Amino acid sequence: MSENHLKALPYTEVGAFINHLKAQEGLGPLALEFTILTVVRTSEALNAQVEEFDLQRGIWTIPPERMKARKEHRVPLSKRAREIANFLIENQTSNYLFPGRKDGQPLSNMAMLATIKRMGRSGDFTVHGFRSTFRDWAAEQTNYPRDVAEAALAHTIPDAVERAYRRGDLFEKRYKLMEEWANYCVTVIKKAEVIPIRQRV
């Protein structure tokens, strides 16, 4: 199934959802919030290793073998994403940022789905769908070039020639984009009040 066909939460509802998510307890909610903020794939978040993080510089480097495109991916960490990573590393019990119940195993990929279910949103959207939510937000609410958003999602450049000439990863621009995304994620958008027109008697 392609990312475009996965159920996604409208970006105007992300702030309210994150606000509700922060009230949840446990590792699953933290993993979900971190995944939403970094817009990585579920497996990339759950298999994150503590040594991959440079919190002083705000960079998480995912090695090629854990990326879909088999290419190293540097993730710029927003202030909130860094807070989550720092909290977990300070209370480290495993090499995994999100340790599972079994020694040497990461958190189950069902943990985030279980969180969504506990919040009463099961079936409304998927974890992976938040990547589409981010992409829609970036396209409709920011002025960043398409390439920057695509790089944030670690999407492969389809054109082979362009891919051959592209040397950088647009990191500095992505850093600003991800901080703006994190700020948007705590902004609750109030729905406009609809006043019904009085019907004629």
Which of 165, 167, 190, 200 is catalytic? The answer is 165
Question: What CA–CA distance (Å, rounded) separates 119 from 4?
Answer: 24
Structure tokens at 108: 């189950």
Is 174 an annotated catalytic residue?
A: no
Which of 20, 66, 128, 176 is catalytic? The answer is 128
Is 165 an annotated catalytic residue?
A: yes
Is 131 an annotated catalytic residue?
A: yes
Query: Across 56-192, where does the E strand assignment appear?
Result: 59-62, 73-76
Is 96 an annotated catalytic residue?
A: no
Is 128 an annotated catalytic residue?
A: yes
Which of 80, 131, 135, 173 is catalytic? The answer is 131
Kindly report each contact of residues 150-156 with a partner whose C-beta sits within 8 Å and lies 24 or more positions away, as own/partner: 152/39, 152/177, 152/178, 153/39, 154/40, 154/67, 154/68, 154/69, 154/71, 154/73, 156/69, 156/71
Question: What CA–CA distance (Å, rounded) separates 154 from 169?
Answer: 9
Catalogue the active-site residues: 41, 68, 128, 131, 155, 165
